[in-house]
């Protein structure tokens, strides 16, 4: 494999509507809190669920991410690392099958310019480093 094609499609928010949790880093928490004008402590109390090894956004019951609006992510410039790096997550970059499975709901996969595999793996590494609790 020499590379992967990807270009996020305007108006699409499919990745924000998938089942699963949005994990965040300590830096993400501080950045997101600042972006919405809250103290990190208050932001965490309201939006974050903390376990021993992981932080994740609380999901409203029967709903999607707190920050998803009709026109997209309301905290886009400060969004969590996992959201920013998608679809170059290790589990997708390392598996042709998983990459193709994700293409079933991410219309940006397979479109746009070719991203060199080294670059894609570099982003996957950033993801691994950001979430050591997930990729041990
Ligand atoms: S699902 Fe894919 S194309 Fe749609 S917003 Fe997410 S990354 Fe972009
Ligand atoms: S934080 Fe933003 S990009 Fe991430 S799931 Fe929520 S709405 Fe989508």
What are the residue ranges spanned by the domains of the chain?
3-130
Nearest CA owner, ligand 2 atom 4: 83
Q: How far does residue 84's CA lie from ligand 1's centre (Å)?
A: 11
The β-bridge partners of 49 are 56
* Structural tokens at position 42: 């208050």
pTM of the model: 0.94
Res 1: pLDDT: 65
Ligand 2 atom nearest 67 alpha carbon: 7
What is the band of 126 on the pLDDT scale with cuts at 50, 70, 90? very high
Return d(Cα 80, Cα 69) in angstroms, integer.
16
CB 3 within 8 A of CB 114: yes
Rounded to an integer, what is the distance from CA 65 to the centroid of its chain? Answer: 11
Return d(Cα 89, Cα 132) in angstroms, integer.
13
């Amino acid at each position: 494999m020499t590379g992967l094609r990807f270009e996020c499609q305007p108006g699409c928010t499919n990745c924000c509507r998938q089942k699963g949790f949005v994990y965040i880093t300590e830096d993400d928490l501080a950045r997101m809190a600042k972006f919405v004008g809250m103290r990190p402590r208050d932001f965490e109390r309201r939006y974050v669920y903390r376990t021993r090894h992981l932080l994740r956004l609380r999901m409203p019951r029967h709903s999607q991410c707190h920050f998803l609006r009709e026109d997209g992510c309301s905290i886009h410039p400060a969004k969590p690392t996992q959201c920013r790096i998608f679809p170059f997550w290790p589990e997708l970059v390392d598996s042709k099958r998983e990459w193709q499975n994700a293409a079933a709901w991410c219309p940006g996969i397979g479109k746009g310019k070719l991203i060199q595999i080294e670059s894609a793996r570099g982003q996957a590494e950033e993801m691994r480093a950001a979430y050591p609790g997930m990729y041990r």
